[in-house]
Amino acid sequence: MTTSSSGPGVSGPRAVVAGHADFAAALVAAVHRITGLGGAFRAVSNEGLGAPEVEVAIRAALTDHGAIVVFTDLPAGSCTMAARKIMRADPAVSVVTGASVGLLLDFAMGPDVSAESLHRAVSRGREAMMVFPAAGAAGGH
């Protein structure tokens, strides 16, 4: 199942976001609401698909969208497995697991799809994860 985000006029980095249920569509919608850059992404859901069909859906989204980067939800998920099989056949493709809004925002606002940009986006995604109150802080909950 592939959900198309707004496409025309995208000039920056492009990618496919793939995951369980509505995960990808929701992330892309959130990025679009925040930045207007949702068109940088094409969302794919693995809902109702077997492993080969997930691979076909992601491959088709990459081709249609002119993308070479796949963001997925779980490292152990079927979308990651499928994306890594695609990556093996096409070494130009990169796969990033554990996608989040923070990570995608940095990617969408970035200059390109280089390894450096992907690593920076992953760092930003990690930095966006915090716990309040911080560990060791006195709390009254």
Partner 1 sequence: MAIELYRVDDRLIHGQVVIGWGHPLALRFIVLVDDNVAGSDWERELYRMGTPPEVDLYFETTESAVARMPEFAARPDPGLLLTADVATMSRLCDGCTAIREVNIGGLHHRAGRSPCLPYVFLSAEDEVALKSIAARGVRVIAQDLPASDPVELGDLLTKDGA
Q: Which residues bind partner 1 (CB under 8 A)?
A: 20, 48-54, 73-78, 80-81, 84-85, 88
Identify the bridge partners of residue 7 per DSSP, sorted by sequence position.
Answer: none
Please report how close the Cβ of residue 76 comes to partner 1 at its closest, in angstroms.
4
Identify the bridge partners of residue 95 per DSSP, sorted by sequence position.
Answer: 70
Nearer to partner 1 (CB atom), residue 5 or residue 80: 80
Nearer to partner 1 (CB atom), residue 62 or residue 83: 83
Query: Which residues fall within 8 angstroms of residue 53, CB to CB, at 6 or more apart?
Result: none
Identify the bridge partners of residue 2 per DSSP, sorted by sequence position.
Answer: 44
Nearer to partner 1 (CB atom), residue 54 or residue 58: 54
Nearer to partner 1 (CB atom), residue 73 or residue 106: 73
Please report how close the Cβ of residue 117 comes to partner 1 at its closest, in angstroms.
23
Nearer to partner 1 (CB atom), residue 28 or residue 49: 49
Q: Identify the residue whose tokens are 């490292």.
A: 75
Whole-number Å distance between alpha carbons of 14 and 110: 10
Please report how close the Cβ of residue 120 comes to partner 1 at its closest, in angstroms.
23
Cα 20 from chain centre = 12
Please report how close the Cβ of residue 49 comes to partner 1 at its closest, in angstroms.
6
Whole-number Å distance between alpha carbons of 53 and 39: 24
Please report how close the Cβ of residue 21 comes to partner 1 at its closest, in angstroms.
10
Looking at residue 111, what DSSP letter applies?
Answer: S
